[in-house]
Each structure stands twice: as C-alpha cells, then as structure tokens.
C-alpha cells in the first residue's frame, strides 16, 4: 500500500470506473478496485456496500437536494415547472465540466450491464416518489403530483442524455428547460 493520501472515497470511485471501463463491470473485483486506489478492501467497504454502489453512491444526496429545491420553489409555480426549476437549480451545482466526463463514462458502464441498468431505473423511481411527496407537501393532489414528478424525471433523463453526449460544453440547466419545453409541446399536440 502507498502511504496515506486524502480522498479515499474519490480515489475508489475513480479506480472502479477506470477498471469497469478497462475490464468490464462483471470482470472487476473489489480487491482490484481497492488495490488500484492504493487502499485495502476494508477501506472500500467502509465507503461502499458493494462495487455496484460505487456508481450510485451520491443518489441519496442528490435526492435530498432536489426535494429541498422543490420545497423552495414559490407556491405559485405550476407543479411541473416547480420540478423542472428544482432540477435545474440542482443541475447548476452538479454540471461541472470535470463531472461531465465522469458522468459520460459512468453512463457507458451502466448501459453495458443489465444489473446496473436495473439499479439506475430503481434510483430514478425512488427519486420520482420523493419528488411526488415533495409536491404533495406543496398541496399538489394526486394524480397531478405523481404525473409531474414522473414527467420531471423524463425531462431530467432527456437533458442528462444530451448533456453527456453533445459536443462542447452544453448548459445542463438550459437543456432541462429545453426538454421541458419540448415535453409541453408534445403534450399540447404540437
């Protein structure tokens, strides 16, 4: 092992992603991830429950930030617009250029593995439920709360896909606004 270096969690995340890209998710063992990061397996398990969670570890924090952002949108804003505004506000902080390349690589690993795709869908379903709960706390009744939350997830997915795949440095919050506009046009029959 190398002598102590800071950011064990970040080093483990990067080592795992590098190995998943080089060897494939299923062919990579926790011991290899820890070794590549210059850490022990024990340190790995202090940060993550398993190798899958390396790719999804920030989901809870992201959910909390989005729910808080939904709650902070003025009550006069329509439910779907409130969700999009909250997603855009959180995207500002998350859409750093260095995170974009990581997000692009992470998404490629997920797309190549059915188990990870399933975990990604589950994460989005839990996020949708949390957003619907936040809308209910704003006084939005069902089914409007569920529909706005699920539509917001669709808007987020479309914007995220464009953010990681378009050339240059696309504006993630701007892509969320564009995707929302396109969704409204589609639902209006346009």
Residues 22 and 92 in one domain: no
pTM: 0.88
Which DSSP string do the residues of the chain spell out, in sequence order?
-PPP-S-HHHHHHHHHHHHHHHH-STT--HHHHHHHHT--HHHHHHH-SSTTHHHHTTHHHHHHHHHHHHHHS-TTS-HHHHHHHHHHHHHHHH--HHHHHHHHHHHHHHHT-HHHHHHHHHHHHHHHHHHHHHHHHTTPPTTHHHHHHHHHHHHHHHHHHHHHHSSS---HHHHHHHHHHHHHHHHTT-
> What's 125's domain CATH number?
1.10.357.10
Residues 85 and 168 in one domain: yes
Residues 68 and 40 in one domain: no
As a whole number, the mean pLDDT across the chain is 92
pLDDT higher than threshold 90 for residue 156: yes
Domain contains 108: yes
Q: Average pLDDT for residues 101-118, to the nearest whole number?
A: 94
User: What pLDDT does 57 receive?
Assistant: 86
> What's 15's domain CATH number?
1.10.10.60
Domain contains 2: no
User: What pLDDT does 143 receive?
Assistant: 97
């Amino acid at each position: 092992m190398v002598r102590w270096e800071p950011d064990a969690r970040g080093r483990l995340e990067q080592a795992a992603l590098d190995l998943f890209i080089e060897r494939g998710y299923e062919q990579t063992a926790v011991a290899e991830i820890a070794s590549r990061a210059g850490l022990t397996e024990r340190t790995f398990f202090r940060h993550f429950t398993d190798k899958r969670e390396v790719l999804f570890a920030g989901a809870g924090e992201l959910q909390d930030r989005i729910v808080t952002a939904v709650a902070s949108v003025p009550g006069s804003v329509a439910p779907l617009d409130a969700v999009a505004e909250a997603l855009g506000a959180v995207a500002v902080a998350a859409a750093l250029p260095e995170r974009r390349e990581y997000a692009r690589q992470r998404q490629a690993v997920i797309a190549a593995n059915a188990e990870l795709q399933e975990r990604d869908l589950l994460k989005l379903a839990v996020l949708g439920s949390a957003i619907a709960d936040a809308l209910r706390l704003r006084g939005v009744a069902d089914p409007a709360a569920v529909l706005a939350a699920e539509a917001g997830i669709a808007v987020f997915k479309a914007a995220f896909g464009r953010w990681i795949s378009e050339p240059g440095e696309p504006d993630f919050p701007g892509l969320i606004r564009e995707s929302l506009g396109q969704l409204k046009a589609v639902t209006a029959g346009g």
